[in-house]
Structure 1
């Protein structure tokens, strides 16, 4: 993707009406995508209460989180091809309806086993929403415009993990953990209404793929044979693995290793979440000067350097707590530049199968993230060294894929399309 390509896109000025519709679409799709992290994080403050109420062990309660992530990852592989066959709107609304229903079932769950199973259903419903929302972006936009739209979506959806635990704690002051799932059901119903009124079908009938197993397998083979897509998918998964390592290790490192209390940890964690959201908003500005590929390459190298600095600080003690916090913030902020640009490049040549391609991206991200994160605890999490080592390995592999495959497979830039709303 050339710099000239970015320049031409930057000079195109949408009408006021078009800009208003883009803002509306960002708010709508951002809210839809945010339902996933909202469903994951809102009930976290209630985990001890769930264990006491259902007479379950800590590990059994944690299975409810595992079930959610399992459904979220695997469900995308099923929903993606369906959205390429039946269009985007119906799977989106069906997913939201399923989320509302599953939330009510969670609130009524009599045992921890039932709750874990229904959480898988919640994950499947969130997978439908996540896949379709990304596919809609690719239906409406191409090239650098996809990266810009994804950056704006992250501003909206990035608020979910920041606010969700606080929302859960607030609900717990009025009711039990079951009330949290009732609130999630209410949010689902609200999103159903918004999607029904505000989301139009974006995949024309003539561009839809046959709804057959052979067609679906053929699409997956096509994606698997695309070296650039595979490399970018793995890059996205490795970036998510680094973030999961941070999420899994930061609490233990800062509280057990450096003695921060829960309030101070929450402040540091929240600040890093804000840094991620704000840095992501620099992406559209950078894309006025650089291509998507250039921004992604720079972000990956910078994140690898930040992870390396974190490892040095952890092993030597240089800079103490301040150095660890600063390096963590640098890792998070550089990752924020990688997340929107990776799908923009990966989906550039797969417009007609954007649902399936987005599903593969999402599945690999959650899959690698879920597999790598436990390594932090396996090697000890009282110091930042294991977390930093996992981050450094993940970003190092991503840099190798970026320069060893993506740059070599670079293709001519495509023309940007604007929102046909």
Structure 2
């Protein structure tokens, strides 16, 4: 994220975050396929050997091929104290904190899906492992498609905060539908409507996650590294807290997953509206016309 902020601005930066969403969406589809092939020739320990090798290769590539992207005139010595002071200043910026929390709680809804969907889809609704894998991959495809629609069609034409608001609203609606189905308001429902609601919820992430990051980093040209650290840490911290909650009532009910997703989406929406106040913002990535530098 910090590298993207150094290299791009305005519309170009927002579009690039949607491109990163393509990678984030494809990875969950490809990784299990690779893992399955690894397990054909070794045991579970072999998976960690492969991961270690991948980590070493990536470290070497970054060390050798990724130059410092921050312009020399904007570099500083850094240090823990300065980083903490910078982060404190970032958190004092209410719109930045709003985007930070909105993205973090939206990420918690995604984490709830990742943690609970194997049990919900297979144990509660009786899907086979193959069917679950197909649905998981399909949901990832939905996220990828939404991210590309966001980057190629909406960025530069529609205000980012409007797209973000619509994405959060869709997540709330999908999570509400899941909760109503899980609690039996519609009677006994099968896998199809639950899978459809999960698909809509996951696809909406393609409109929320890249835009929260873009809108937050648009405010932090002076501290992209610290801002990126806060964005990443907050998302995974909130997600880590949310994940165990989905199993609080056992593996035979989808209610905790739906409750966590709905609560996370509502909190994300409140943080966005209350702290960012998008109706007072300057419209697109760089002004009323959404122009680029």
Indicate whether the TM-score tops 0.5: yes
Aligned twin of 2:67: 200
3-state SS, counterpart of residue 222 of structure 2: coil
Aligned twin of 2:99: 232
Q: Which of 337, 340, 346 does residue 207 from structure 2 map onto?
A: 337
Residues 224 and 252 from structure 1, CA distance in 2 versus in 1: closer, same or farther, beyond 3 angstroms? same
Structure 1 residues not aligned, in runs of 5+: 1-133
1:218 and 1:288 mapped to 2: Cα distance?
A: 34
Q: Which of 38, 49, 55 does residue 182 from structure 1 map onto?
A: 49
Q: Note the C-alpha offset of 1:194.
A: 4.0
Bigger relative contact order (CA 8 A; separation at least 6): 2
Q: Note the C-alpha offset of 1:317.
A: 4.2
Aligned twin of 1:218: 85
Q: Which of 210, 215, 223 does residue 353 from structure 1 map onto?
A: 223
Any conservation in 2 of the 1:231–1:406 contact (CA below 8 Å)? Answer: yes
Aligned twin of 2:175: 307
Residues 385 and 177 from structure 1, CA distance in 2 versus in 1: closer, same or farther, beyond 3 angstroms? closer
Deviation string for 1:129-174 (max 9, x for gaps)? xxxxx11100011233222101111212322221212212211211
3-state SS, counterpart of residue 290 of structure 1: coil
TM-score by length of 2: 0.90
Structure having the higher Rg: 1
Deviates more, 1:207-216 or 1:135-144: 207-216
Any conservation in 2 of the 1:375–1:390 contact (CA below 8 Å)? Answer: yes
1:260 and 1:202 mapped to 2: Cα distance?
A: 47
2:80 and 2:120 mapped to 1: Cα distance?
A: 47
Any conservation in 2 of the 1:209–1:353 contact (CA below 8 Å)? Answer: no
2:219 and 2:123 mapped to 1: Cα distance?
A: 47
1:253 and 1:213 mapped to 2: Cα distance?
A: 43
Number of residue pairs matched by the alignment: 284
Structure 2 residues not aligned, in runs of 5+: none
Aligned twin of 1:410: 281
Q: Note the C-alpha offset of 1:312.
A: 1.3
| Mapped pair 1:363 → 2:233 | yes
TM-score by length of 1: 0.64
3-state SS, counterpart of residue 41 of structure 2: coil
1:147 and 1:379 mapped to 2: Cα distance?
A: 40
Residues 234 and 242 from structure 1, CA distance in 2 versus in 1: closer, same or farther, beyond 3 angstroms? same
2:76 and 2:25 mapped to 1: Cα distance?
A: 32
2:179 and 2:3 mapped to 1: Cα distance?
A: 39
1:184 and 1:213 mapped to 2: Cα distance?
A: 30
Aligned twin of 1:387: 257
Deviates more, 1:398-407 or 1:350-359: 398-407
Q: Note the C-alpha offset of 1:193.
A: 5.0
2:256 and 2:70 mapped to 1: Cα distance?
A: 45
Any conservation in 1 of the 2:11–2:156 contact (CA below 8 Å)? Answer: no
Q: Note the C-alpha offset of 1:198.
A: 4.3
Aligned twin of 2:247: 377
1:206 and 1:394 mapped to 2: Cα distance?
A: 40
Q: Note the C-alpha offset of 1:226.
A: 0.7
1:347 and 1:391 mapped to 2: Cα distance?
A: 25
Residues 186 and 214 from structure 1, CA distance in 2 versus in 1: closer, same or farther, beyond 3 angstroms? closer
